[in-house]
Every structure is written in structure tokens, then in C-alpha cells.
Amino acid sequence: MLLLGIETSCDETAAAVVKDGREVLSNVLYSQEQIHQKYGGVVPELACRQHTAVISDVVCAALDKARVELRDLSGIAVTQGPGLMGALLVGVSFGKALAYRHKLRLIGVNHLEGHIAAVHLENRTVELPAVALVVSGGHTNIYFVPAHGPLELAGQTIDDAAGEAFDKGAKMLGLAYPGGPAIDRISKTGDPTRINFPRPYLRNDSLDMSFSGLKTSLRYYLERSGFPHTGRGQISNLSPVSIPDVAAAFQQAIVDVLVEKTVLAADRYGARSVCVTGGVAANINLRQRLAEVCREGGRSLYIPNPSYCTDNGAMIAAAGYFRFHRERESPLLTLSPQTAPPMGGSWFTGI
């Protein structure tokens, strides 16, 4: 089964052709990073305009690279939500028009389900039950993935997402957008033990998390240290603050919370494996720490290649494949973007 996956929920215009939910024939991405960089975050109106300008080229490039024609496709999977409403509308409308014109089946996919399905692109089976941490710019959720039945939301951030904390923290440090990769890079030369930022919610048995206090701690730390800023997103050379040390300590605090809550969830649900996906799952420190704790706990760890962790079309096609089998298709004319479309069931068992 050949599916075209279309993703436009935020600032990446992405399309991919995937065979049988696993074999990626093409994965094309147009990143708007440079457009939003000067604003230090995604500007929704600009994101929509850019999606509109490039979606046709991105989809054509995905088909060309895969060497398939529209008539070869079994259907189209498109991100239905959550995401920026205007941005989602571009992908959904484009998918609908293509499906209508070429008489293809169309299915709406939950973006978070797409992130989890990315695990499938590189692994045929996943030991169940599992827990899945979806950690991105908009979400930080822990799901219980049972052997049978629907995914269950086990815990989530009660305020900022971890990726948002990375982005906002990086902005305070004068680092480039997106902040996660920038902090990841600069932390390599820093000492995380020189500053002790708080680890919120680590001392109780809740699976929920909170990252906004950490962001405030960083602001206070920088103010207390007389952190001189040139006002142009640049750090003054006179600054007594070591940016790599602060970035490393800030990253460490986020990673500690994510790792601790994931292990707590895995223990509580008796998980045989752990899946970690979403943009923040590209973080090197997080990947290393999770590998250690999973090894110690005797659990398998599944983290997609970094290019499948951040938003992409292949993950949407993968999730669409399982939905096609379960639901056949979404009604073409009534499919519209939604804040929280339903999550899929336990498709890890395979088909």
C-alpha cells in the first residue's frame, strides 16, 4: 500500500511517500526556520502563507523522488491536528483537493499519533506493553501503549512543553531559533553541574510535568548575574555568565524531568519497552540518558532517527497506514482541522 503523507501543522511543509507504513520512498521537507528566526518563534500568519506558497512543489518533489504517479497511490494521509489552525488548513485543503480530483482515499491523522508512528519506520515490532513519550515544541505527553486497545494518556505537562522551554530558554540566552538544537550544540562544551536549576514535580508520584518554573528560574539567574545583553539577540563580550554552562545546566534540568517521569511511567505500567518521539527526542543528552536507564531497567528503547523525530511527512503516512486498515477513510467533504482529533489504537501489534 502506497501512501502520500502531508504535514503542515506548524512551520515545516512536509510530504512523503511510504510503502506499507514502513518503507520510506521519499521524505521531502521545506523548513521555514529562516523566516521565523528573526522573530525568535513561529509567526502563524507567515507560516500559513509559506505553506500555501510551497505545498504544491513539496508534494510534487515527494512523488518525483519516490518515482510514483498520483494514480499509483492507495491514498493520502494528512495531519488534521493539533497545530496552528491556518497552517493545518493548508495541508488539509490540499489533501482534500488532490483526493477528490484523483479519486483517492483520504484520512486525517492526529499529529501526535504521527510522532509515535515514526517508531515504525525503522522497527518492525515493538515489545508491548510500552510507554511512549511524545516531546515536542507544543506537547509533552506520556502515553501508555497497551498490547490491545487504545493508547492512554498517562501524564503531560501542566504548562509549557519541553520544546517550548528549550526555545524560550535559548532566546533568553541570545541563541538562535529554534532553541532546542542551539542549546543541544552549545551544551556540549558546558559544565551542567555549575548551576543547579529546579527539577519541578520530581519528588511526587505524579506523571505530570511542569517547565514554566524552570524558565522563570533561568530568567532570575540571568538577572542576578547581571547578564549583559546587547539588545540585538547578542551576548556582550563582557558577560561574566558562561553561556555553555548555563545552557548545559538548563538542558540537564529538562532532561532529568523527562527521564524520571518516563521511567516512573514505565515502572507503573510494567512496560517492556519505551518509545520516545517528537522534536526534543533529537536531543543528544536525552537520547544518551534514556539509553542508560532503559539498559539498567532491561527495557528496549525506540527513538527514531533525528530526522524522523522532528516534524515530517513520513510519520504521517505511517500513522495513516494503520488508520486506513482500522477506519478505511475519513469522509472527504467533512474532514477539517481539529484541535484534538482522536488518537489511534494500539497499532504496534502490526497488521
Contact residues: ligand KG4, CB under 6 A? 10, 136-138, 163, 166-167, 178-181, 184, 278-280, 282-283, 310-311
Close Cβ partners of 166 (under 8 Å, ≥ 6 residues apart): 178, 179, 180, 183, 251, 254, 280
Among Zn ion, ligand KG4, none, what binds residue 345 when CB lies within 5 to 8 Å by partner kind?
none
Instruction: Quickly count: other Cβ atoms within 10 Å of residue 38's Cβ.
Output: 10
Site size for Zn ion (CB under 5 A): 2
C-beta of 174: minimal distance to Zn ion in Å?
Answer: 26
Nearer to ligand KG4, 98 or 119 (CB): 119
Nearer to ligand KG4, 63 or 92 (CB): 92
Stretch that binds Zn ion, among 146-154, 225-233, 260-268, 309-317 (CB under 5 A): 309-317
C-beta of 278: minimal distance to Zn ion in Å?
Answer: 6
Nearer to ligand KG4, 73 or 151 (CB): 151
Among Zn ion, ligand KG4, none, what binds residue 80 when CB lies within 5 to 8 Å by partner kind?
none
Among ligand KG4, Zn ion, none, what binds residue 75 when CB lies within 5 to 8 Å by partner kind?
none
C-beta of 139: minimal distance to ligand KG4 in Å?
Answer: 7
Nearer to ligand KG4, 5 or 129 (CB): 5
Specify the amino acid at residue 278.
G
Nearer to Zn ion, 221 or 308 (CB): 308
Q: How far apart are CA 275 and CA 265, in angstroms?
A: 12
Among ligand KG4, Zn ion, none, what binds residue 280 when CB lies within 5 to 8 Å by partner kind?
ligand KG4
Among Zn ion, ligand KG4, none, what binds residue 166 when CB lies within 5 to 8 Å by partner kind?
ligand KG4
Among Zn ion, ligand KG4, none, what binds residue 184 when CB lies within 5 to 8 Å by partner kind?
ligand KG4
Write each residue from 124 to 153 as x if it is in contact with Zn ion (CB under 5 A), else as -, in one continuous string: ------------x-----------------
Nine-digit cell string for 270: 510494567
Write each residue from 54 to 93 as x if it is in contact with Zn ion (CB under 5 A), else as -, in one continuous string: ----------------------------------------
List residues bridging with 157 in a β-sheet.
Answer: 209
List residues binding Zn ion (CB under 5 A): 136, 311
